[in-house]
Amino acid sequence: MTRIGPFAITIAVAFGLWFGATSLSDFLSNQYRRRENHANPTELPEAVAALEKQLESDGSNLQLHMKAAQMLYEEARSSRNSALIMKAVEHYAFILRREPNNRDALGELAALCFEQGILDKAEEYLRRLISIEPDNIRARTDLALVLVQSGKAEESIGLLNAVIKDNPALFPPRFALALAYRVLGEREKAKQAAQDSLAYAPDETARQRIARFVEGIDETPPPTLEAFIRSHSILGPKVTSIEDNGQGLLTVKLREFPIENMPPVARNVFTSKLQQALIFDKQINKCILLDSESGKQLIEIAEE
């Protein structure tokens, strides 16, 4: 079993987020393609079922809860089974109710929430971890990347500059800094930060991706919310109309969009990604999704 290791968010996800490897479209498409994984949501992998059996007689054993959480999450990551993800969360939450300062549980639950697009909870758990370990470089860098994805790039830059000042030879915070500047529209600073990170890149693949990142900075601005919606593999085909009232409101009408049938985790990811796209669109501050036939409101998101 692969545990969530050092710089789990930054190394594994930063490139994926920028280059599209962990897109919302992929996540939701997998959810719908793999409905069979939700047919028996309480059916557990054999090893996890054995641990759950042990917990029936030793329910306060936090080591067993941690092991169960880690095994469930690894299984959920490969199967895209939202029920297993929620069971993993339950075990982590149990641990934190009894040991609020459990470093492993805070770090791993933060990574889980980040991967599932639940950015507010990822931020909460990382801040709790940093309050316990203020010099935890991994947690500080991971928090900065969460803040970038949440549209809080200025705060992210402050955190990253502090980390880099004390640890100049680390690659993850240097590349995260380039992402933060890119989100802010500071293109020259984004290029410089990315180029500075080249000397510390872990391998040739990373260096090639950094080069592509630098080349792409001037090509296109971050997509608008409307472009995000129209290009989305699930949302796009459902769109019947999109109206921008010129005063910051985008109204989107959809046909047969099954928001009520989404698993809770998928719905959280979906709304979180919409929120991120809204943050990066400087012309829109509110978006409403409506059913095109009934006029029923499906979702409303607004700048926080």
- Cα gap 69→105, rounded to integer Å: 9
- DSSP assignment of 106-126: HHHHHHHHHHTT-HHHHHHHH
What is the residue whose two structure tokens read 């029936």?
Answer: 56
User: pTM above the 0.75 mark?
Assistant: no
Measure CA of the first residue to CA of the last residue in the chain; give whole Å: 39
Q: What is the pLDDT of residue 132?
A: 96
User: What is the predicted pLDDT for the residue at 223?
Assistant: 65
For residue 221, the model assigns a pLDDT of 62
Burial of 197 (0-12, 13-18, 19+ CB in 10 A): buried
- Give the pLDDT score at 12: 46
Structure confidence by residue, pLDDT tens digits, 107-118: 999 988 888 778
CA 241 to chain centre: 28
**pLDDT number for residue 5:** 42
Residue ranges in the chain modelled with pLDDT below 50? 1-9, 11-13, 15-42
Buried b (16+ CB within 10 A) or exposed e, 91-126: bbebbbeeeeebebbbbbbbbbbbbbbbbebbbbbb
Domains (ranges, CATH) in the chain? Answer: 8-216 (1.25.40.10), 225-302 (no CATH)
The answer to whether 268 and 116 have CB atoms below 8 angstroms apart is yes
- Determine the pLDDT at residue 76: 76
Q: Which residue carries 């990347």 as its tokens?
A: 145
Which residues, 6+ apart, have CB-to-CB distance to 159 below 8 Å?
Answer: 140, 141, 143, 144, 147
CA–CA dist 187, 192 (Å, integer): 9
Identify the pLDDT of residue 257.
85
Residue 251 has a pLDDT of: 95
